[in-house]
Amino acid sequence: MSELTIWTLDWVPQGPRGFVRDLRLRWACEEAGLDYTVRTIPFDGRETNHLEQQPFGQVPFLKDKDLEIFESGAGLLHLARKSDKLMPRDPEGEAETLQWTIAALNSIEMVTVPWWFLKICGDENNGLTEWMGQRLGHMERILSEQEWLAAKRFTVADLLMADVLRVSHVRSFGDRPATEAYVTRATSRAAFKKAHADQIAHFEAADRERAKEGSN
Ligand SMILES: N[C@@H](CCC(=O)N[C@@H](CS)C(=O)NCC(=O)O)C(=O)O
């Protein structure tokens, strides 16, 4: 029995499939060759049915023996401590990985998520558009100069940044060829493909269960 358990929802509608953030943890485990199991909390009642594990009623959260960790970024850094495939062990490489991991969350996702959320709520040209354009412009410049963000090789920082940048609304914002190539490079990795396929299969199996329940 594996010591790592990734917790996610038992089912979600089509829209978020392939993007639910348990994928970040699955992807990291696949990259690092860490065994893990996936367990679920019910989609119905998710706002309050697991507040002891995730205080905002969200997924994912990670269990490692008796340790429980919420926030996908924290989960990724926890996994990165287990494998130098995710984060180099030399001080410089580690510092670079940490800074870009935080940048993905706090300089890019902090803008992109509210931007696309307003967009899908009908506010197409919302007040965050210029700000996001600036941030994505900086990423485009950086990614046109280097293949990966830290330590001259793929790290958990790339996993997170690519996951933030691969959201379809963000991907289709403007013409950013270096960013597009980066997202393609990251998501072409065998570990991403496996994690993605497994998440899709997980929700498809849930569809079948639901259909069976509906027909009984
Ligand atoms: N900052 C959190 C965000 C988690 C998050 O947005 N989770 C989504 C799924 S990807 C969720 O649980 N949505 C359901 C909800 O908010 O009710 C993290 O990175 O773990």
- DSSP code of residue 8: E
- Hey, how many other C-beta atoms are within 10 angstroms of the C-beta on 88? 19
Model confidence at 2: pLDDT above 80: no
3-state SS assignment for residue 5? strand
Average pLDDT rounded to a whole number, residues 144-157: 98
Q: Report the domain count for the chain.
A: 2
**CATH assignment at residue 131:** 1.20.1050.10
Q: Whose CA is nearest to atom 10 of ligand 1?
A: 20
Q: In this predicted model, what pLDDT tens digit does every residue of 63-106 receive, in sequence order? A: 999 999 999 999 999 999 999 999 999 999 999 999 999 999 99
Are residue 62 and residue 24 in the same domain, yes or no? Answer: yes
Q: Rounded mean pLDDT of 182-209?
A: 97
Q: Identify whether residues 112 and 137 lie together within a single domain.
A: yes
Q: Give the model's pLDDT for residue 124.
A: 85
How far apart (Å, rounded) are the C-alpha atoms in residues 71 and 105?
11
Cα(72) to centroid of ligand 1, in Å? Answer: 9
Same domain? For 135 and 211 the reply is no
| 111 shares its domain with 121 | yes
pLDDT-derived band at 213, boundaries 50, 70, 90? confident
| Helix (H) / strand (E) containing 137 | helix 129-143
The range of the structural domain enclosing residue 182 comes to: 91-189
Q: Is the shortest distance between the CB of 50 and ligand 1 below 6 Å?
A: no
160 and 211 inside one domain:
no
Q: Which of 59, 77, 161, 203 to mutate to test the pocket of ligand 1 (most atoms within 8 A of CB)?
A: 59
What digits encode the pLDDT tens for the residues 6-55? 999 999 999 999 999 999 999 999 999 999 999 999 999 999 999 999 99
Which CATH number does the domain housing residue 198 bear? 3.40.30.10
- pLDDT for residue 3: 94
